[in-house]
């Protein structure tokens, strides 16, 4: 019989308990929370973008040797990163994203306003230079429950742009498919933030996390000259003093 030390026993026990009743499996055993949206055929997408189709081209049940799928969708589907090249002609693509933009301390800020994220509410949170800010709104509880696009999602108001740029925020994350409002200020919000060097994470599901400080990992697929790319985002809470010793 294989010898297993006490440390390995604890790891196996933690892994086993994490798999019970949790879709996050092993990650949840270490405090990680998956804040990504699961990609699937027919899921909600931005109006005008192609419908999401994930189809098997090879199937084991059809006597093929393995399962192989094709994926057809916009690069801005589900949880994804926007690169500057999305709205800035000379901007860098997603393949050149600095890892510091999507790995490290992040703060979840709960937004009370059910229309948009406005500067008066932002000032209450005293956002600091270089922060990674994730806005949790009613979108997380409301919008992801439907495969139909929700037009009146909470977005970043035009009046908030100057404040966010002045604070030199490193990264902004939102809990639906765009930082800008549908048929409102989508182009302006993207251009101002991306020109200022602020990286954008869209399509987060923050329903499972509370306001506060977290360790964030959100890595996009590395696509050459990518205007955007799907990403897997995970977070875990911690005490901030651990980071600033």
Each residue of 58-89: pLDDT tens digit?
Answer: 999 999 999 999 999 999 999 999 999 999 99
Q: Given a cut of 50, is residue 237 above it in pLDDT?
A: yes
The pLDDT value recorded for residue 2 is 47
CA 180/CA 174 separation, integer angstroms: 10
Q: 75-242 maps to which CATH number? A: 3.50.30.50
The one catalytic residue in 45, 76, 80, 86 is 86
Band of pLDDT at residue 244, cut at 50, 70 and 90? very low
Question: What confidence score (pLDDT) does residue 22 get?
Answer: 43
Sequence spans of domains, the chain: 75-242
Query: What pLDDT, on a 0 to 100 scale, did the predictor assign at position 17?
Result: 47
The band of 30, judged by pLDDT with boundaries at 50, 70 and 90, is: confident
Mean pLDDT within 150-177 = 98
CB neighbour list of residue 187: distance below 8 Å, 6 or more residues apart: 87, 180
**pLDDT for the residue 80:** 98
Q: What is the pLDDT of residues 176-234, one digit of tens each?
A: 999 999 999 999 999 999 999 999 999 999 999 999 999 999 999 999 999 999 999 99
pLDDT tens digits, one per residue of 129-160: 999 999 999 999 999 999 999 999 999 999 99
Reported as a pLDDT band with limits 50, 70 and 90, residue 7 is low
Q: What is the pLDDT of residue 4?
A: 52
Q: How many CB atoms lie within 10 A of CB 222?
A: 12
Task: Note the Cα 182 to chain centre separation in Å.
Answer: 19
Q: Supply the pLDDT for residue 28.
A: 57
Supply angle C-alpha 148, 73, 45, rounded to 5: 20
Separation between Cα atoms, residue 188 and residue 63, nearest integer Å: 52
Averaged pLDDT, 153-177: 98
Strands 103-110 and 132-136: parallel
Decide which of 61 and 6 is more confident. Answer: 61
**Radius of gyration in angstroms for the set of CA atoms belonging to the chain, rounded to a whole number:** 19
Residues 6+ apart with CB under 8 A from 226: 75, 83, 85, 93, 94, 95, 220
Give the three-state DSSP class for 145. helix
Average pLDDT estimate for 34-39: 98
Alpha-carbon dihedral 219, 224, 228, 233, rounded to 10 degrees: -10
pTM attached to this predicted model: 0.87
pLDDT computed for residue 238 by the predictor: 75
86 is an active site residue? yes
Determine the Cα–Cα distance for residues 116 and 186; give it in Å rounded to an integer.
12
Per-residue model confidence (pLDDT) at position 239 = 62
Asked if pLDDT for residue 170 goes beyond 50, the answer is yes
Q: What is the pLDDT of residue 218?
A: 98
CA distance 99 to 82: 14
Buried b (16+ CB within 10 A) or exposed e, 99-122: eebbebbbbbbbbeeeebbbeebb
| Predicted pLDDT at 180 | 98
**How far from the centroid of its chain's Cα atoms is residue 171's Cα?**
11
Give yes or no for residue 245 having a pLDDT over 90.
Answer: no
């Amino acid at each position: 019989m294989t010898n297993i030390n006490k440390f390995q026993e604890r790891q196996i026990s933690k892994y086993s308990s994490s798999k019970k009743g949790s879709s996050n499996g092993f990650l949840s055993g270490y405090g990680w929370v998956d804040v990504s949206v699961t990609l699937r055929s027919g899921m909600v997408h931005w109006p005008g973008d192609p419908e999401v189709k994930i189809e098997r081209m090879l199937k084991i049940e059809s006597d093929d040797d393995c399962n192989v799928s094709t994926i057809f969708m916009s690069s801005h589907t589900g949880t994804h990163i926007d690169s500057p090249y999305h709205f800035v002609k000379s901007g860098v693509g997603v393949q050149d994203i600095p890892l510091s933009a999507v790995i490290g301390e992040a703060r979840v800020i709960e937004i009370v306003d059910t229309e948009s994220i406005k500067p008066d509410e932002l000032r209450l949170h005293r956002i600091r230079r270089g922060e990674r800010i994730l806005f949790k709104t009613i979108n997380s509880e409301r919008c992801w429950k439907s495969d139909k696009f929700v037009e009146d999602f909470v977005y970043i108001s035009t009046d908030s742009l100057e404040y966010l740029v002045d604070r030199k925020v490193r990264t902004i994350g939102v809990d639906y498919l765009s930082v800008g409002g549908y048929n409102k200020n989508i182009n302006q919000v993207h251009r101002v933030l991306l020109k200022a060097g602020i990286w954008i994470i869209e399509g987060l599901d923050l329903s499972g996390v509370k306001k506060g400080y977290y360790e964030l990992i959100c890595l996009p697929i590395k696509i050459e000259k990518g205007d955007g790319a799907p990403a897997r985002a995970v977070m875990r809470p911690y005490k901030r003093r651990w980071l600033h010793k």
